[in-house]
Amino acid sequence: MNPLKKQYYIDKRPLPVLFLIEYKNAILLIISFILFFVGVTSKYVPKGLTIEGYQTLIIFIFAIFLWVTNIIPLAITSLAVMGLLATFRVLEGGQIYSFFGNEAIFFIIGSFIIAAGVSSAGLNERVSYFVLSKFGERPQKLVLSIFFLAAILSHIMPEHAVAALLYPILTSIAGRLELQRDSILGKFMFLALAWGSVLGGVVTFLGGARNPLAIGILQETTGEEIHFLEWMKVVAPPIYIICIAAALYMWSKVKNSKRDTHQLQKILLSNSSQLGKIRLKEVKALLILLGTIYMWIFQSHRFSIANIALISASLYFVLNVMKWEEAKTQINWGAIFMYGGAIALGKSLVETGLLTYISDKFIANMSITLTGFIVITFVISLFLTEGVSNTAVIVILLPVIIEMAVKFGFSPKLAVYIVAVPAGLAFMFPMSSPPNAIAFSSGYIRSSEAVKMGFFLKIFSTVIFLLFAVFYWSFLGLY
Amino acid sequence: MTTITIEENVETEELLEQINLKIVEKDLRFALVEFKKSMDVFQRRKSIEEIKKYYDLFLILKICMPTHPHRIEEYFSYGLHGIFFIQEEAKKIDCYKDTLQSAVDLFPKGLVFAQIDEDKELIQYLINLKVIPVVFNKEEAYLFHNSEDWMKYTRLFGNEGLENGIYDKIKMKFMLEKVNLRQKLMVKQMDQSLDSSGL
Q: Using one digit for the tens of pLDDT, what is the confidence trace for B64-112?
A: 888 788 889 889 999 999 999 987 665 577 678 888 999 999 999 889 9
**Residue B197: its pLDDT value, please?**
39
- pLDDT tens-digit readout, A312-331: 999 999 999 999 998 888 78
Q: How far does the CA of residue A383 sit from the closest CA of chain B (Å)? A: 19
Contact B190 A9 (CB under 8 A): yes
Task: Give the pLDDT band (50/70/90) at residue B63.
Answer: very high
pLDDT at B196 over 60: no
Number of Cα atoms under 13 Å in the Cβ half of residue A22:
16
Query: What pLDDT, on a 0 to 100 scale, did the predictor assign at position A198?
Result: 94
Which pLDDT belongs to residue B180? 94
Q: H or E stretch including B62?
A: strand B58-64
Q: Quick one: pLDDT at residue B140?
A: 58
Q: Using one digit for the tens of pLDDT, what is the confidence trace for B117-136?
A: 777 888 888 888 888 888 87
- What is the pLDDT at residue B198? 36
Q: Per-residue pLDDT tens for B160-190?
A: 555 567 887 888 889 999 999 999 999 887 6
This complex has an ipTM of: 0.81
pLDDT digits over A401-458, tens only?
998 898 888 899 999 999 999 999 988 887 778 888 888 888 888 888 888 999 999 9
Which chain A residue has its CA at the smallest distance from B74's CA? A4
Q: Is the pLDDT of residue A300 over 80?
A: no
- Chain A residues in contact with B181 by the CB 8 A cut-off are 19
Spell out which chain B residues touch chain A, with contact meaning CB-CB distance below 8 angstroms: 40-42, 73-74, 76-77, 105-106, 181-182, 184-191, 193, 198-199
pLDDT in tens, A257-294: 777 777 777 777 777 777 788 889 999 999 999 999 88
A12: which chain B residues are within 8 Å (Cβ-Cβ)? 105, 186
Q: What is the mean pLDDT of residues A245-252?
A: 94
Q: Chain B interface, mutation test: which of A6, A8, A15, A17, most B Cβ atoms within 10 Å?
A: A8
Residues of A in contact with B73 (CB under 8 A): 4, 9-10
What is the bridge-based pairing of β-strands B82-86 and B141-143? Answer: unpaired
Query: Is residue B195 predicted with pLDDT exceeding 70?
Result: no
Please, which contacts does A292-297 make with residues 24 or more away whose CB atoms are closer than 8 Å? Answer: A292/A114, A293/A156, A296/A205, A296/A228, A296/A229, A297/A228, A297/A229, A297/A232
d(CA A55, CA A61): 10
Best to test chain A binding among B44, B45, B177, B186 (most A CBs inside 10 Å): B186
Continuous segment of H or E residues that includes residue B71? helix B71-77
pLDDT at B144: 63
* Residue contacts between A and B (CB atoms, under 8 Å): 53
Distance CA A186, CA A174 (A): 7
Where residue B199 falls among pLDDT bands split at 50, 70, 90? Answer: very low
Comparing CB atoms, the residue among B40, B41, B106 nearest residue A10 is B106
Q: Please tell me the predicted confidence (pLDDT) of residue B105.
A: 92
For residue A295, pLDDT over 60 is answered with yes
Q: Which residue has the higher pLDDT, A308 or A389?
A: A308
Q: pTM of this prediction? A: 0.72
Residue A235: its pLDDT value, please? Answer: 95
For residue A5, the model assigns a pLDDT of 44
Higher pLDDT, A229 or A260: A229
Give helix A139-156 / helix A184-203 axis angle, nearest 10°: 20
Over 60: is that where the pLDDT of B147 sits?
no
Per-residue confidence (pLDDT) for residue B142, from 0 to 100: 62
Contacts of A7 in chain B (CB under 8 A): 41-42, 189-191
Say whether pLDDT at A114 is over 70: yes
Q: Give the pLDDT band (50/70/90) at residue A9.
A: confident
Contacts of A18 in chain B (CB under 8 A): 185-186
Q: What confidence category does residue A1 fall into, taking pLDDT thresholds of 50, 70 and 90? A: very low
Residue of A nearest to B76 (CA): A10
| Amino acid code (one letter) for B39 | M
The residue ranking higher by pLDDT, A265 or A66, is A66
* pLDDT bucket at B138, cuts 50 / 70 / 90: low
Average pLDDT over residues A63-77: 84
Nearest chain A residue to B186, by CA: A11
**pLDDT reading at B141 higher than 70:** no
- The per-residue pLDDT of chain A, averaged, comes to 86
Shortest distance, CA A13 to any CA of chain B (angstroms):
8
The pLDDT score that the predictor gives to residue A4 is 42
pLDDT (0 to 100) of residue A172: 79
Contact by Cβ (8 Å): B44, B35: yes
User: Poorest-confidence range of A77-81, A276-280, A374-378?
Assistant: A276-280
Q: Are A348 and A56 in contact (CB under 8 A)?
A: yes
CB A11 within 8 A of CB A18: yes
pLDDT by residue (tens digit) across A326-337? 888 878 788 788
Please report residues of B whose CB lies closer than 8 A to that of A431: 198
Which H, E and C letters describe chain A, residue by residue?
A: CCHHHHHEEECCCCHHHHHHHHHHHHHHHHHHHHHHHHHHCCCCCCCCCCHHHHHHHHHHHHHHHHHHHCCCCHHHHHHHHHHHHHHCCCCCHHHHHHHHHCHHHHHHHHHHHHHHHHHHHCHHHHHHHHHHHHHCCCHHHHHHHHHHHHHHHHHHCCHHHHHHHHHHHHHHHHHHCCCCCCCHHHHHHHHHHHHHHHHHHHHCCCCCCHHHHHHHHHHHHHCCCCCHHHHHHHHHHHHHHHHHHHHHHHHHHHCCCCCCCHHHHHHHHHHHHHCCCCCHHHHHHHHHHHHHHHHHHHHHHHHCHHHHHHHHHHHHHHCCCCCHHHHHHHCCHHHHHHHHHHHHHHHHHHHCCHHHHHHHHHHCCCCCCHHHHHHHHHHHHHHHHHHCCHHHHHHHHHHHHHHHHHHHCCCHHHHHHHHHHHHHCCCCCHHHCHHHHHHHCCCCCCHHHHHHHHHHHHHHHHHHHHHHHHHHHCCCCCC
Q: How confident is the model over A142-161, as pLDDT tens digits?
A: 899 999 999 999 998 888 88
Q: Say how far apart CA A420 and CA B79 lie, in whole Å.
A: 49
